[in-house]
Amino acid sequence: MTAPVIAAEELVATDDEMMMIVAARELRNGVVCFVGIGMPSTAANLARHMHAPDAVLIYESGTIGAKPTKPPLSIGDGELADTADAVVSVPEIFTYWLQAGRIDVGFLGAAQLDKYGNINSTVVGDYDHPKVRLPGAGGAPEIAGSAGEIFLMLRQNNRAFVEKVDFLTSVGNAEGGDSRQRMGMRGKGPSVVITDIGVLRADPASGEFVLTALHEGKTIDDAKAATGWDLRISDHVEITAPATDEELRKLRALKAGEL
């Protein structure tokens, strides 16, 4: 596929692009980030090409410090190994690296999410007779447990943002308050959810996600309508800084494999 030639006036981010750009901005330079495949991976690689060249990206295939030039289709594409600082076995990545507490941020997607950032990636409907059988846990339960904190990104709609997840695959802020800490989890849990509408941050006391920012052109009503629980709104909802030309150009070049 050839990348379209982009004229200056066409540099307007789509909703998905905005979500990836805002997610990339969340990653600080030097962060050690365990990256899920798909949009989190694209966002993390954009960050590496923008403000965070020293971000260390770790994939569950055992590639540490991977620097792919295009978004990998699978978690174990050859380019991840070719560009990595180290390639270790799958048992090692989950033990010496994740379980031992060497990961700052786990960056995940989800099929369903509740207001405490608890994740379902297993089934829609009943477990024994599912309406939709999803792929399942993968690395997420232990990433959610052991990474320093969790960033989540997914498109916001009321099939995904639900009052109660059909299956609790990975524990977020549990039942709120200090319930997660009482379970003995080492990492502090999900702190931010980046969506195509805005940004939700966990209230430090309750653990509940609160809408704190809207992307340009989106409204509080949009966010509420796309949320299956009674969404709390911050007293000071910010408007996300628009995507810069550089962010958009780099994101599109990254996706086209031309960075």
Partner 1 sequence: MANITTLSDAIATHVRDGQTLALEGFTHLIPNAAAHEIIRQGRKHLTLVRMTPDVTYDQLIGAGCADKLIFSWGGNPGVGSLHRFRDAVERDYPHHLEIEEHSHAGMATRYVAGASGLPFGMLRGYVGTDLLKYTPNISTVTCPFTGEELAAVPALTPDVGIIHAQQADRHGNVGLWGIQGVQKEAVMASKASIVTVEEIVDELDSRVTVTLPSWVISSVAVVPRGAHPSYAHGYYERDNDFYIGWDSISKDRDSFDAWIDRHIHQTSDYAEHLRLVDQEEGVLA
Contact indicator for 140, 119 with CB cutoff of 8 Å: yes
- Minimum Å gap between C-beta 22 and partner 1 is 23
| Parallel, antiparallel or unpaired: strands 149-153 and 190-194 | parallel
Short-list 194, 136, 146, CA closest to 169: 136
Q: Does residue 81 interact with partner 1 by CB under 8 A?
A: yes
CA distance between the termini of the chain:
15
Contact indicator for 172, 190 with CB cutoff of 8 Å: yes
Using the rule CB under 8 A, which residue among 3, 127, 163, 245 binds partner 1? 127
Using the rule CB under 8 A, which residue among 34, 161, 167, 209 binds partner 1? 167
Token pair of 10 as six digits? 């066409």
Short-list 42, 73, 44, 78, CA closest to 63: 78
Using the rule CB under 8 A, which residue among 65, 76, 176, 228 binds partner 1? 76
111 phi and psi, to 5 degrees?
-85, -40
Using the rule CB under 8 A, which residue among 2, 9, 135, 236 binds partner 1? 135
Short-list 203, 205, 179, 183, CA closest to 191: 203
Q: Does residue 74 interact with partner 1 by CB under 8 A?
A: yes
Paired strand residues for 30: none
Q: Does residue 174 interact with partner 1 by CB under 8 A?
A: yes
Q: Does residue 181 interact with partner 1 by CB under 8 A?
A: no
Paired strand residues for 210: 201, 232
Q: Does residue 173 interact with partner 1 by CB under 8 A?
A: no
Token pair of 13 as six digits? 């981010």
Between 33 and 72, how does the x/- string for binding to partner 1 read (CB under 8 A)? ----xx---------------------xxxx--------x
Using the rule CB under 8 A, which residue among 58, 171, 213, 231 binds partner 1? 171
Number of chain residues interacting with partner 1 (CB under 8 A): 53
Whichever of 6 and 100 has its CB closer to partner 1, that residue is 100
Paired strand residues for 170: 119
- Minimum Å gap between C-beta 141 and partner 1 is 5
Q: Does residue 96 interact with partner 1 by CB under 8 A?
A: no
Token pair of 104 as six digits? 């700052």
Using the rule CB under 8 A, which residue among 78, 96, 219, 239 binds partner 1? 78
Q: Does residue 1 interact with partner 1 by CB under 8 A?
A: no
- Is 17 part of the annotated catalytic residue set? no
Residues written for the chain: 259
Cα–Cα distance measured from residue 74 to residue 134, given in angstroms and rounded to the nearest whole number: 17
Using the rule CB under 8 A, which residue among 3, 90, 225, 241 binds partner 1? 90
Binding site for partner 1 (CB under 8 A): 37-38, 60-63, 72-78, 80-81, 87-91, 94-95, 98-99, 122, 127, 129-142, 145-146, 167-171, 174, 180, 183-186
